[in-house]
Chains A and B, each alone.
Chain A
Amino acid sequence: MYAGQSVKRVDAFDKATGRARYTDDLCDRRAYVARVLHSTIANGRVVSIDTSEAGKLPGVVKILTCFDLKEKHYFPTAGHPWSTDPSHQDVADRLVLTDRVRFWGDDIAAVVAEDEVAAAQALRLIRVEYEEYPFVLDVQKAMEDGAPQLHEEFPNNILKHTQIRIGDYQRAILEPGLTKVEGWYETPVVQHCHIENFICTAEVEGKRIKVVSSTQIPHIVRRIVGQALGVEWGRVRVIKPYIGGGFGNKQDILYEPLCAWLSLQVGGHLVKLDVPREETFICNRTRHSIRNHIVSWVRPDGTYAARKLESFSDQGAYASHGHSICAKGAGAFPQLYPCDNVEVDAYTVFTNKPVAGAMRGYGIPQAMWAVESHTEDVCAAIGADPLAFRRKNLMPVGYVDGFSKNEMYFDSFNQCLDKAMAAIDYERKYRAYQNQTGDVRRGIGVAVFWYNTAVWPISLESSSCRMVLNQDGSFQLQLGETEIGQGADTAFAQMAADVVGVPLEKVHVISCQDTDVTPFGTSAYASRQTYVAGFSIRQTGLMLKERILNYAHELTRMPAFNLDIVDGNIVRVTDGRVLMSLGELAEEALYSLTDSRHITAESTYQIKSNAYSFGCTIAEVEVDIPMCKVKLLNIVNCHDAGRLINPALAEAQVHGGMSMGIGFGMSEKLMFDEKTGRPLNNNLLDYKLPTMLDHPRLMAEFVENYEPTSAFGTKSLGEPPACSAAPAIRNAIYHATGVAVNNAPANPHNLFRAFTEAGLIHDESQGDRNV
């Protein structure tokens, strides 16, 4: 059994030695370089673009502007499976270049040049004349009557508004003796900051266009490039090599359509579009900033009588993944702490900001920031112990969600909390840190999270797998599911080796997806790769095994049902005798003069299930009040992700997610100039992504309850680790200081304001240092 073992990554040596090939490595030197000209106003219209000076520069091949776009094929960008039902299709609101500018950084022209220097020089010489419109950056101001309108079809800039109504909130709040707890909780615009910026190349091959892209979703890129160019989808070939991270940014179509279009404008020549970091921040996708308003009515016994959530999700300028993100958080609200009377109103609203899309956690980090900050406020208001209150009110064992049919099979929350508390010595520290005084204080805080696995029943969940047996008994494994750094290929190889019965090194995972040859799949999102691929790997592996054993029957005359494949050998199960190796069988199969066979298997599995994936974070902080600084001393995540296919990779996955949660809670925020809408800190110096020195040792704990819906007992772990760290840190700061930081991140700027308001620090010019 390989599933459950911490085997080495199948790509470890190639990646460590630099042999692994990424998009730029696959691009040859004859490529033209494309750079995009972005708008320098936040809202308006391009009146004219003067490229005459830029066009004269040596090395400039061609300059294309929004006015050169003769056929306008609007396309959606979300990396969702296509819906054949028009009412469920994503909003098609993008063009490869636009004259109607909706945010500072919109794409209005592009330069194709022989090298980067010529392209950059040309960009600086292009002159643009705009007609400027008023713009709006605040999500609630954008909803007001008279606010600047981004898209005519969406009055008051509301992309979508959904509601959830359970019981009767208005009546429930009349119950005598209730305590009302109310708060506003906001998360900032943040960016994925994957190490490899988005890059793609495009060229014409015969009558088709070939795109190589640093993407999570090659088959979806094929469809959308086809839509954007107005060509049949089969005329687009997409190749996805290794990628340096995506975190959801690359679960969106970014510049593949523009790059393909530019190649077509220069005779099909190879064009490379490598996005600089500054543009990656603002011209790719961001995480939705969500402002949440929660009202809870709590009984004296510490149970909820009624709850209300209003969510305002800042979509930025174009629809991308749209309301799906806000809706996911809103949907989690009544499930995490079930209550008989709930009202939820969720709004996704356009503003003149960069486009928000998918980002690790897909709305849940924002929702957990609000819900778990609020839970702490509720505990404070009624004098409840934060752990006891959560244990009492969290989703109980046996809970079933009516829509997804997800069931809480195990006591995951209590098990995770117990394990995390033990790992960080919670009880002792929680008591020790009560009622501190002085400049430097410590605190410990907890937050839980809700997550699920995959997207059933909202959209298509299918996985296709192909296995091709080689002469030596090894086989190639191909899947539509993609390796995006998370270690998916390794987990796939482990599962495939177990199903077929071969040593791990006999499984050759073809990591690179090529839409011409790779089985169809909608790829990496929703923390679903291992879960969904598991089904098709198991089904296809069993098919391959059956074909192998049927052929073994021909060779050995033993009945197939008495045969098995064990460790790469054909074994008679009745007495355990090794009859032949799989290599001997495969060689005979390919070269037999009497019965030659090419033994392969390929199948699609449609998954009609989903699975809850729960856990928690506990964080311990030291707050230096006069310096307005928080030092994270210890942090632990505990997850029930079902059975772990590869515990070492699972731990790494959790570490990465925790790091993202730490940045989200403590330092990261993309800022915009109120006067112009211009982004202020779209670079890695001014955008405070935490460094190694800002992290304590990250502790990852697991509870392994075998997931009954899963082909291998496993469920999601890609996104869940990013969901609860931030509110746990916020709650630890609250424990240390009594100050609630409700607007993330808890950085020194926000802490200065909060500590000043709370009277913990004073105006220095007035003296009196003792606080």
Chain B
Amino acid sequence: MYDIKALYEARSVADAIRLLQEHPRAQIIAGGSDVLVQIREGRRAGVELVSIFGIDAMRGVGYDDEGGIRIGSLTSFSHIAASPVIKDKIPVLGEAVSLVGGPQIRNIGTIGGNTCNGVTSADSASTLLAWDAVVELTGPEGVRRLPIRDFYIKAGVVDLKPAELQTAIIIPKVSYEGYFGHYIKYAMREAMDIANLGCSVNVALTDDKKAIRDARIAYGVAGPVPMRAPSAEAAAKGRAVCRETVDAFARAVLCDIHPRDSWRAAKAFREHIAVEMARRALTESIRLAGGVIDE
């Protein structure tokens, strides 16, 4: 039994905006895999809810007019993982969201919920950040687009204005074309767990596969929100595909990340693992891109 004051079910995006305007204190609920847990814990007890779960227009994966990949914010993790578009163009995203919780959570949990939570440990977030994703936000003033790195403000807080909802996540063509990536989730269990650290890396190699044209890396749980490691990216960009480059890239992440010291994991431990993850994720990304690292 959940302590819910009221539940308003939106039939369309416009309907949702209207309901959110009418009930300014209401919380948006999509799959509910986080919101219901928070209600049970008492954190959101007595809440008013606007459910957007029935808005099918916000589901599905396809291409937009510019060739970008458009993921409706209500698309479940299971559907993202099974999407031919994702498998073809950005398989790492499917792999990353397949590491969320267990099968039941992946069937109900949505990528919009995963990002709008503003939690640093979200398995989709670091990969979206590493692929320069753009979020589409729809509100009373219309539609606006925002790079996902600007969407995250601080722990648990994202740039959603009153009565605004995230309607899609877009990965522009320039962000995915020619890039190959790998995600590593570091957790204490092989399933049903939250990341102690998540690391998503992708690279574009030169045509001869001998040098790194571009490298991007993002972490979850290395700071209060998902974050990129620009020093590491700079250390790899334009460099030869070799072990030294990989090591320099990996070591450089420590200039960028600020993991917490907590009972969940010590700072020194997280830093050690972060470097090792960067090393392994870049190595695998290079392999996927057709590069060969000379030992």
Chain A residues close to B by CB (< 8 Å): 115-117, 120-121, 124, 626-628, 667, 671, 673, 680-681, 684-686, 688, 690-694, 747-749, 752, 761, 763-765, 767, 769
Contacts and interface: CB of A to CB of B under 8 A. Distances in A.
Contact of A749 (B45, B266, B271): B266
The 4 closest A-B pairs by CB, nearest first: A693-B190, A764-B275, A693-B191, A691-B191
Contacts of A121: 3, 45-46
A667 B275 CA distance: 23
A564 B40 CA distance: 62
B188 A747 contact: yes
B70 interface: no
Interface of B: 1-3, 42, 45-46, 102, 186, 188-194, 196, 247, 250-251, 254, 263-266, 268-269, 271-273, 275-276, 279
Chief secondary structure at chain B's binding surface: loop
Given A686-B264, A761-B272, A764-B254, A116 B188 contact: no
B188 A667 contact: yes
Given A747-B188, A748-B269, 5 more contacts: A117-B3, A626-B272, A684-B192, A686-B264, A691-B191
Contacts of A690: 189
Contacts of B193: 685, 688, 691
A124 B188 contact: no
Contact of A667 (B42, B189, B251, B279): B189
Nearest to A119: B1
26 contacts: A117-B3, A121-B46, A626-B272, A627-B273, A628-B272, A667-B189, A671-B263, A685-B193, A688-B189, A688-B193, A690-B189, A691-B102, A692-B191, A693-B189, A693-B190, A694-B191, A748-B273, A749-B265, A752-B266, A752-B268, A763-B272, A764-B250, A764-B254, A764-B275, A767-B251, A769-B279
Contacts of A680: 263
Contacts of A748: 188, 196, 269, 273
Contact of B189 (A691, A749, A765): A691
Contacts of B269: 628, 748-749, 752
Contacts of B251: 764-765, 767
A694 B194 contact: no
A765 to B, nearest CB: 5
A120 B247 contact: no
A764 B279 CA distance: 11
Given A120-B45, A765-B251, A627 B189 contact: no
Given A628-B269, A749-B266, A764-B254, A120 B188 contact: no
A333 B185 CA distance: 42
A674 to B, nearest CB: 9
Contacts of B272: 626, 628, 752, 761, 763-764
A46 to B, nearest CB: 22
Nearest to B2: A117
A438 to B, nearest CB: 13
A738 B194 CA distance: 30
Contacts of B2: 117
Contacts of A749: 265-266, 269
A48 B45 CA distance: 26
Nearest to A747: B188
Contacts of A685: 192-194
Given A121-B3, A124-B42, A688-B188, A673 B273 contact: no
B83 to A, nearest CB: 23
Contacts of A763: 272
Nearest to A764: B275
A215 B264 CA distance: 33
B219 to A, nearest CB: 14
